[in-house]
Chain A
Amino acid sequence: GAGVSQSPSNKVTEKGKDVELRCDPISGHTALYWYRQSLGQGLEFLIYFQGNSAPDKSGLPSDRFSAERTGGSVSTLTIQRTQQEDSAVYLCASSPPGSGQFFGPGTRLTVL
Chain B
Amino acid sequence: GQNIDQPTEMTATEGAIVQINCTYQTSGFNGLFWYQQHAGEAPTFLSYNVLDGLEEKGRFSSFLSRSKGYSYLLLKELQMKDSASYLCAVSRSNYQLIWGAGTKLIIKP
A98-B42 in contact (CB<8A): no
Q: Tell me which residues across on chain B come within 8 A of A48, comparing CB atoms.
A: 95-96
Q: Using a CB–CB distance below 8 Å, which chain B residues touch chain A?
A: 30, 33, 41-45, 48, 87, 94-97, 99-102
Report whether over half of chain B's contact residues are helix, strand or loop; otherwise say mixed. loop
Give the complex CA separation of A105 and B33 in angstroms.
19
Cβ < 8 Å to B, chain A residues 1-49? 31, 41-43, 45, 48
B99-A91 in contact (CB<8A): no
Q: Tell me which residues across on chain A come within 8 A of B102, comparing CB atoms.
A: 42
Q: Using a CB–CB distance below 8 Å, which chain A residues touch chain B?
A: 31, 41-43, 45, 48, 50, 55-56, 91, 95, 97-106
Q: Tell me which residues across on chain B come within 8 A of A104, comparing CB atoms.
A: 42
Q: Tell me which residues across on chain B come within 8 A of A42, comparing CB atoms.
A: 87, 99-102
Give the complex CA separation of A99 and B50 in angstroms.
11
Give the complex CA separation of A106 and B33 in angstroms.
20
- The closest CB in chain B to the CB of A99 belongs to B48
Tell which of A41, A50, A56, A100 has the most Cβ of chain B within 10 Å: A100
Tell which of B30, B33, B41, B43 has the most Cβ of chain A within 10 Å: B43
Q: Tell me which residues across on chain B come within 8 A of A97, comparing CB atoms.
A: 94-95
Give the complex CA separation of A24 and B101 in angstroms.
26
B95-A50 in contact (CB<8A): yes
- The closest CB in chain B to the CB of A44 belongs to B99
Tell which of B42, B96, B102 has the most Cβ of chain A within 10 Å: B42
| Pairs of residues from A and B, 9 with the lowest C-beta to C-beta distance, nearest first | A42-B101, A103-B42, A43-B99, A100-B45, A98-B94, A103-B43, A31-B95, A106-B42, A105-B42
